[in-house]
Amino acid sequence: MVPKNFVVDVHTHMYPPSYIKILETRSTIPIVRSFPHSSERRLILLESEVESLEKALKDPSTRPPGRPLSSQYTSLDQKIRFMDVHKIDISVISLANPWLDFLDADDAGAIGASVNEEFSNMCRQHHGRLFFFGTLPLTAPLETILASIKQLRDLKYCRGIILGTSGLGKGLDDPALLPILEAVAAAQFTIFLHPHYGLPNEVWGPRAEEYGHVLPLALGFPMETTIAVARMYLAGVFDKVPELRMLLAHSGGTLPFLAGRIESCILHDGLLSGKGKGAKSRRTIWDVLREQVYLDAVIYSEVGLKAATEASGGDRLMFGTDHPFFPPLVTGEEGLWESVSLNADAVAKTNEAGVGSAAATMGMNAIRVLNLVEQA
Amino acid sequence: MVPKNFVVDVHTHMYPPSYIKILETRSTIPIVRSFPHSSERRLILLESEVESLEKALKDPSTRPPGRPLSSQYTSLDQKIRFMDVHKIDISVISLANPWLDFLDADDAGAIGASVNEEFSNMCRQHHGRLFFFGTLPLTAPLETILASIKQLRDLKYCRGIILGTSGLGKGLDDPALLPILEAVAAAQFTIFLHPHYGLPNEVWGPRAEEYGHVLPLALGFPMETTIAVARMYLAGVFDKVPELRMLLAHSGGTLPFLAGRIESCILHDGLLSGKGKGAKSRRTIWDVLREQVYLDAVIYSEVGLKAATEASGGDRLMFGTDHPFFPPLVTGEEGLWESVSLNADAVAKTNEAGVGSAAATMGMNAIRVLNLVEQA
């Protein structure tokens, strides 16, 4: 008997209703609100949407910013239906960006505990089909953050932590973050590193509004992830926390493509070579990609997925959908999503080209690494 | 008789002595200057070096910013020696960044004409071994810029234009740039698109100085190129100027890796699909990569070079060295440069893996596309 090849989605988000309520009370991004002439509530997340939000508030005839807040974002039933339609056996759900990053220090701990509890309950309702990445209240005091990691250790379905790139506000190369990363690693939690902040708006130029969300999402997000990991690498974080394991969103941003250039720039930098960081004996970014990093397969092309697989190894890629983002605009949300098939097709083609294995990428790597199937 | 396979370097820069003289008179970046306790003059180019320049000017014990201005940057003899040592048959030399972008409108035309004449003379001294990409005085009035293109058409060894990403100051998606791009295309000049401005310093975080030039050079440069081309694509520039041909530095920045994500973001963007820009009939970024773009092979890894070759096609990759940047720090500048062998090795390995052809990438593509060998 051939064992079943599971399909696992490691990149799939939710906003629990309690979280949406918080966004509804806010007056700045991230925010959920209605606009005149538009029946649906809209979800406005990105710093690049500040201007269009201001315009829409002043002039109701303007196209409202953000995206429609469909039930796909909040409903557990929809998540399960989406999994069934796309033949996904197991999903590792996570709170979507910007997580708890914007909360007041006083509120963050309690809200975080409640959100993590909510994710845990969702998983319990669909035992065996759902696991989750927890969220840390990073604006709270250190002891609250560490207590949150302790809480997550006790939640049966938790398999890691979803983390943005701001850390405690100074990025992931901040030494003050080390005790947190150590506690996460000690809990054997994988960190799912996910972008949110993108790049400063000025880089998109004066015509950015004409291009919708394409530049901040298609380029800003993966570039943010790449910069965050490169800063961690240069600060020695992967050496300082050797048990640290990170799953990088969007196939590592652009790391697989730029790893060679990063290495060459280190080798040829007078300052770093003077500090011995250019030494041949040091662990290269390639070593980190192959030993401490996993990559999701959310890259929408065979070209990208092959590079990611060759950079990290076929045993380190994990399929994801990014649901409920990128819904089909024309065919409706109940059928097959093209954003899913683009990634599944890339996995199949990469497998046909002899790079990695479709079974491993589609689920078996996640099963093994995140320990998703109970031993008999 | 088997025809010789030429080795061609399409990415190789010079600062003619007259240009260095201009930099020596300046008080802000870009600048060439000496520092106490350091015999050599230093070349300070990057916006990310502003702070360390200020520090070094105040406190002479601080490590000076920039890089040593060795004769590699200015000497034609050194360029030829470098070519001989690395068995490079032909080099297509270009002025290094930031070109003429910082000049006053009144000076730019005359300085540009003189710099282009200087490059032309260098090529004449080594007939058959040297060609060049000219430089446009982009701060000058439109008629001066168009006159400069006309001048370059008359210079026998000119094969294209090296261009930064700022254009006339508003980026390459600026409609005011279209007449210039049309004139360049009409002259059958290839544009060599090269980064300089990187990303705003804030993205590198508070510890950036510890990491030398690694982040701005390894990540900022390729990200800048990617953003510039994506903006051109979204503005329809490649459709509006169908004869436009662009050689992208550093294997397209990160475009080969992110093209799938760009396409998916366009397909799933409510604003763009509403404008028909998400239509299936439109030319995708993949089409542009395969029809109007060439990529240099300056990516320092087999993983990246394979992705670049698969994205644009084996007939569109062109070897480059980035000389005189990234000199060896330990072994001296007269021998083999590791920054060159990293790229040459990547070409050989990519060829062995059956992706593209080493002969094509190492020179024959450049010979054909840039018309570098006179017909018998």
Q: What is the DSSP string of B320-370?
A: ---BTSS--SSS-SSS--HHHHHHHHHHHHHHHTTSS-HHIIIIIHHHHHT
Min Cα–Cα distance to chain B from A278, Å: 10
Residue of B271, B278, B306 with shortest CB distance to A307: B306
* 50-79 of B, contacting A, C-beta below 8 A: 63, 67
Helix (H/G/I), strand (E/B), else coil: B176:
helix
- A320 to chain B, closest Cα gap in Å: 14
In terms of pLDDT, which residue wins out, A341 or B376?
Answer: A341
In this prediction, residues B311-335 reach a mean pLDDT of: 94
B300–A218 C-beta distance less than 8 A:
no
Instruction: Choose the weakest-confidence range: A21-35, A144-158, A245-259, B166-180.
Output: A21-35
Report d(CA B191, CA B10) in Å as an integer. Answer: 12
Q: Return the residue matching tokens 């009144």.
A: B106
Question: Which B residues 294-313 touch A at CB under 8 Å?
Answer: 299-304, 306-307, 310-311
Whether A300 shows a pLDDT value over 80: the answer reads yes
- Whole-model pTM: value is 0.97
How buried is A283 (Cβ within 10 angstroms: 0-12 exposed, 13-18 middle, 19+ buried)? middle
pLDDT for res B318: 98
pLDDT at A37: 72
Residue A333: pLDDT band (50, 70, 90) is confident
Task: Say if the Cβ atoms of B218 and A264 lie within 8 Å.
Answer: yes
**Chain B contact for A265, CB < 8 A?**
yes
Residue of chain B nearest A224, judged by CA positions: B203
Q: Do B338 and A267 touch (CB under 8 A)?
A: yes
| pLDDT greater than 60 at residue A1 | no
Fold of A8-16+78-370: TIM Barrel (3.20.20)
Q: What is the dihedral of CA B227, B178, B260, B223, to 10 degrees?
A: -20
Sheet of A31-35, strands arranged across: A31-35, A38-44, A67-68
What are B250-273's pLDDT values in tens digits? 999 999 999 999 999 999 998 887
* Cβ(A288)–Cβ(A231) below 8 Å: no
Please name the residue that has the structure tokens 């949110």: A196
**C-alpha span between B270 and B268 (Å, rounded):** 6
Positive/negative CA dihedral, A118, A122, A127, A129: negative
Does the structure show a pLDDT above 70 at A251?
Answer: yes
Cβ separation A268–B326 shorter than 8 A: yes
Instruction: Find residues 93-122 of chain B whose CB sits inside 8 Å of chain A.
Output: none
Residue type, A198: G
Instruction: Compare all CA atoms of chain A with the CA of B226 and give the residue at the minimum distance.
Output: A219
Give the Cα separation of B232 and B110 in Å (integer): 29
Residue A267's Cβ-count burial label (10 Å; 0-12, 13-18, 19+) is buried
For residue B244, the SS3 value is coil
B164 to chain A: which residues are within 8 Å by CB?
none
- pLDDT for B352: 97
* Lowest mean pLDDT, pick from A39-43, A213-217, A292-296, B142-146: A39-43
CA of A160, closest CA in chain B: separation in Å?
A: 26
Best mutation target among B46, B197, B211 (most A Cβ atoms within 10 Å) is B211
Q: Cβ of B338 under 8 Å from any chain A Cβ?
A: yes
B303 in Cβ contact with A260 (< 8 Å): yes
CA A297 – CA A247 distance, rounded (Å): 11
**Partner-chain residue, chosen from B270, B278, B303, that has the shortest CB–CB distance to A260:** B303
pLDDT at res. A375: 53
Q: What is the mean pLDDT of chain B?
A: 94
Determine the average pLDDT of the residues in A239-265. 98
Give residue-wise pLDDT tens across range B72-120: 999 999 999 999 999 999 999 999 999 999 999 999 999 999 999 999 9
| H or E element in which residue B117 lies | helix B105-125
Half-sphere exposure of residue B262: CA atoms within 13 angstroms, side-chain side: 28
Q: Distance from CA of residue A320 to its chain's centroid?
A: 10
The span from the CA of B5 to the CA of B63, in Å, is 45
Asked if A224 and A199 touch (Cβ cutoff 8 Å), the reply is yes
Q: What is the mean pLDDT of chain A?
A: 94
pLDDT score recorded for residue A376: 44
Question: Residue B205: is it exposed, middle or buried by C-beta count within 10 angstroms (0-12/13-18/19+)?
Answer: buried
Cβ-proximal residues to B210 (8 Å cutoff; 6+ apart), any chain: A234, A235
Of the partner residues B199, B217, B235, the one whose CB lies closest to the CB of residue A203:
B199
The domain spans of chain B are: 8-16+78-370, 17-73
* B63/A328 Cβ within 8 A: no
Q: Are A272 and A317 in contact (CB under 8 A)?
A: no
Chain B, nearest residue to A171 by Cα: B205
Task: Return the number of other C-beta atoms located less than 10 Å from residue A354's C-beta.
Answer: 8
Query: Does B337 contact A at CB distance below 8 Å?
Result: no
The verdict on a CB contact (< 8 Å) between B310 and A330 is no
What's the CA gap between A347 and B129, in Å, rounded? 45
Average pLDDT over residues A335-363: 97
Q: Are B178 and B142 in contact (CB under 8 A)?
A: no
Shortest distance, CA A117 to any CA of chain B (angstroms): 32
Q: Assess contact for A82 and A323: CB atoms under 8 A.
A: yes
Distant-in-sequence, close-in-space partners of B116: CB < 8 Å, separation ≥ 6: B134, B135, B148, B151, B152, B155, B158
What mean pLDDT comes out for the span A219-237? 98
Of B170, B231, B303, the CB nearest to A310: B303
- Give the gap in angstroms from C-alpha A214 to the nearest C-alpha of chain B: 5
Backbone angles phi, psi at B4, to 5 degrees: -65, 140
Band of residue A276 on the pLDDT scale cut at 50, 70, 90: low
Residue with tokens 């990691």: A149
Give the pair of three-digit tokens for residue A87: 């033949």
Confidence grade of residue A273 (pLDDT, cut at 50, 70, 90): confident
Sign of CA pseudo-dihedral B200, B204, B209, B212 = negative
Whether omega before B324 lies within 30 degrees of 0, making that bond cis, reads yes
Instruction: Give percent of chain B with pLDDT exceeding 70.
Output: 97
Contact between B258 and A256 using a beta-carbon 8 Å cutoff: no
A173/B207 Cβ within 8 A? yes
